[in-house]
Structure 1
Amino acid sequence: MDQILILGFARTGKAVAKLCSRVGVKVYIYEEDNVDIENKETNIKITGLEYKDISFDKIIVSPGFKLDHHIIKYFQSNNIPVISELEFSAYFSKHEIIAVTGTNGKGTTCTLIAKVLENAGFKSIVLGNIGIPFAELVLDIPLDYKVILETSCAQLSLIDKFHPKISVVTNLKPEHLNFYNSFEEYITFKKNISKNQTIEDTIVLNLDDQVSYALFQESNAKKMYFSTTKTIFDGSYIDKENYLVTVKDGNELKICKKKDVQAGLVDNSLAALIVGNIYSINSTILSKTIKDFKGLEHAIELCGRIEKINFYNDSKSTNEHSTIHALNCLEDIILITGGKDDKNCDYFYLSNKIKDKVKFVFIIGETKSKLQDNFYNIKYENFKICNSLADAVQQASDLATNTDNILFSPAANSKDMFVDHKVRGNLFKKLVAEYLEQKGYESM
C-alpha cells in the first residue's frame, strides 16, 4: 500500500485524506496547528521529526504551507514527489478540465463559464479554490461532466502532469507578496497552468494585461485572446458600436451591448464567450447568459438603491488592483475601503486612482495609516478615518447625493476586523438594508 503525508488538515487536507481512504492509500498527517484529526484509525498524525523515520511515496501540500517550509525542503532534497492537492486529484480524473487562474476574477469567470455551458445543455461542475476541493468529489463526478477549476498559485506551484483542455488566465498583478519571494516567483507558478498543454489544447489570455500576455507566449497551446481595447481576430473583443463580439476561425458573432453587462463583468464575459465559442454555443444562448449573469456575491454586488444612489458590496476585493478595477467600472464614487495590512503593499497605485476618480473616501482597518500617509503626500484631502464599518456606511450614506455610487471595496484582507470577506460583506449589506429601512426604502 502506498503511503502519503498530507501537510495541513483544513478542508483541503481532509478532502485528500478521504480520497486516499477510498483508493487504498495509507495516510499520515502533519499539522502544526492544534486541530483534531478525523478517523484517527486511518489518518495517523505525526509530530516533530517523525516524518524522517517513515517511507513516503508522495507528499501532498495544503495551500497554507510556504514552499520554503523545512519539511517540503527535506523531501524535495530526498527526491520524494511533493505535489499539490490539484495534481493529486487530477491523477483520478479522466474529465475534460477547464482551469481558470489569475489574480482577480477567477471565481466569477469560472461561474460564468459554467452558466454558459449549462444553458447550452452541457453538464459541468465548478470546484477548486472557489470552495469545494477537487479531491472531495473527483471520484463521484460523471465522466460526461466538464470540470471547471478555479486554480490558485499555491495549487499550481506543485504540479507535474496536471493537464487542462482549456486554461484561462484573467490577469496577473502583484499579490501574495507576503507568501512568495517575489512577483516573478508568483507568476512563474501561475505559468504552470499551461505547462502540459499541447497544440490540441487552448489557452485564453487577456491581451490588455501585458504580464500574462508575455508570460504565456511560449505555451504550446492554441492562444485565443480577449480585449476591451483592441480588435481580436480569434477570441473576443468590444467593437466600435460597443458590442461584445466573439470570433473563431474567422466567424464573428455579435453578442450584446456592453451596457447590458453587469458592472465589473466585461472581462469575465469576454473570457467566457471564448469558451462558449470553442464549444460552438450559439449567439442567442451566449447573449442571454451574459445579460442575465449578475456576478458573484461580494464582487461589485449591487445591494441597495435609494432613488438614483446605488450601494455596491465589493468585499471580495482583497488587493489594490481589484479595487482599482471596481473604481474603473463606476462613476460618481464615494468609497469605503481598508482592511488588514498583511501584503507588503504600499497602495501607491490605488491612492492615485482614488485621487483621480473618487469624490470622498472613508477608511477603516489597519491599512488606514498607509492610505492616510499616501493621501497627505499626493495632496488629496477628501478622506476621513472611521472607527467601524457601521460608522463609515452611515457617513457615506449621509454624504451621497444625486447619482452617487457608494462602493465598499476594501483592497485588503478581512482578518483585522472580520472572520472572512463573506462576514465582512454580509455586515455591509445588513448596514445598507438598515439604512434603507430608516429612509423608508425596501432592501434588495
Structure 2
Amino acid sequence: MNFNSPSSSSLEDCLEQVQARTFRFFWDGAHPESGLPFDKCFVSGDPSPDIVSVSGTGFGILAIIVATERHWISRAAALERLTTILRHLERSPRFHGAFAHFIDGATGAAMHFSEKDNGGDLVETAFLMQGLICAREYFQAATDEEEKLRACVDRLFGAVEWDWYTRGENGALYWHWSPDHDWIMNLPIRGWNEALSAYVLAAGSGTHPIGPENYHKGWARSGEMRNGASYLGTVLPLGEPYGGPLFISHYSFCALDPCGLSDRYCSDYRAQAVAHTRINHDYCMSVPGYRKAGMWGLTASDGPNGYGAFSPAYDKGVIAPTAALSSFAFLPSEAESALRAMLAYEDGKLLGRFGFADSFVPKTGWVAGTYLAIDQGPIIAMIENFRSGLLWRLFMKAPEVRRGLARLGFASTTHSIAPDALV
C-alpha cells in the first residue's frame, strides 16, 4: 500500500497498514531487556527515557494479541515476549496488589509519578489487567508455556486488593495510595470517566471484591453522573459538559464491549460513546481551521506547550490522531474521513516509523516529536474491535468480567453475563 495515495486504497488496506505500523511501537520500540513498552518514544529515533507506564503496558499486550491474530508475528514470538513481560511485572513492587503508574523499564522498580504519588495507581493497574485478562483468554492452548502464562495472570490479578482501595468505606474506590504519604492524593474514582473497567474488575475479583454499593455510591454518585443535556444537537447521557477528552470513551472500551451494555444509569453504553464522539466531531467541524484540514479529534495528548487533556471545553488547537482513529467503532464514516485526511496531510508528514505522530496543530503546522503508549495502543485495539470484535469477545467471556458486570447490575444483549457467573 502507498500511504501517499490514501484515496486509492481500500479502507481495509488502510486499517491493516495503520494498525501494523502502529504495532511496531510496542514491538520494535519496546525495552530491549524487559519487552515492556516505553511510555514515550521519539519520532526522531532518539533514545527513549527508561520509563514504562503500566497502562501503556496493558494496551501493548492488547496490541500483541492483535498482531498474533493477524499474523504480523508468530504465536511463539508473542508468547516469548509476553513471558518476558510477565517475568518483569512479577518483579515489580506492588502496593496492596496495585502497580505504580510508572516503572523502570529495566529493573521493574516503581518510579515516582509526582512527589507524593509514589505508590499504587489503581486505574493504571486496571488497564494493565484488561490486557492481561485478554491475553489469558486468547492463549488457551494446553501447552506448558500457555498454561504458565495463564497461571501468572491469575496470580497478578488475584493479588490486587481492590477492596482495600475503598479505604474501608461504602463509597468510591480511590485512585492512589503511597507507602510514604498514605491517602494524601485523596482522589476518588468517580464517573463518568475512563475508569469504568476498574469497577467491573474490582467487583469481579475472586479474592478482594468490592460490593455493589461502592459502584452505585462511589462511581455513579447515586445517579449524579447522569447528564442528559444536549450539546451541538446531541444528547449526552452521562458525564461532563461536551463529554470531555475522547480517551474517556476509549480506555475501558478497548476491552469492555459497550455494545448492548446497560445498567440503571445508561440504557446503552455504546450510545453514550457515540454521543460523546459525535459532539467532539461536530465541535471540530464548527472550527474553520479543523474543517478546512478535514481533521477532528480532541483528547489528552502532547501539545506545543506540553501534555494536556484537550476537549471542546478546552481547545488549544491540538488534534491527536488517536482520537478519531480509536473512534472507528462509534463513528466509522467520520473516522475514515479523518484517517484519509491524516494520511494525505502534507505528503505524509504525520506518519513515521511507529504510525502517526502523537498530535499536530493544523493552524501552525506544528507536529509532535513523540509517540505515546497510551495513545498508540487504543488505535490498534479500537480499530480491531471495529474490524473483528476480537478484544471485546475475549474480555467479555472472562469469568471475572462476567462476575463483575452481574454483581453491579449490568445487562448485555451482546454477551452472556448470566447469574451463574456469580458462582
State whether TM-score is above 0.5. no
Structure with more contact order per residue of length (Cα contacts < 8 Å, sep ≥ 6)? 2
Instruction: Give the number of the structure whose residues are more often strand, by fraction.
Output: 1
**Which structure has the greater CA radius of gyration?**
1
- Structure 1-normalised TM-score? 0.27
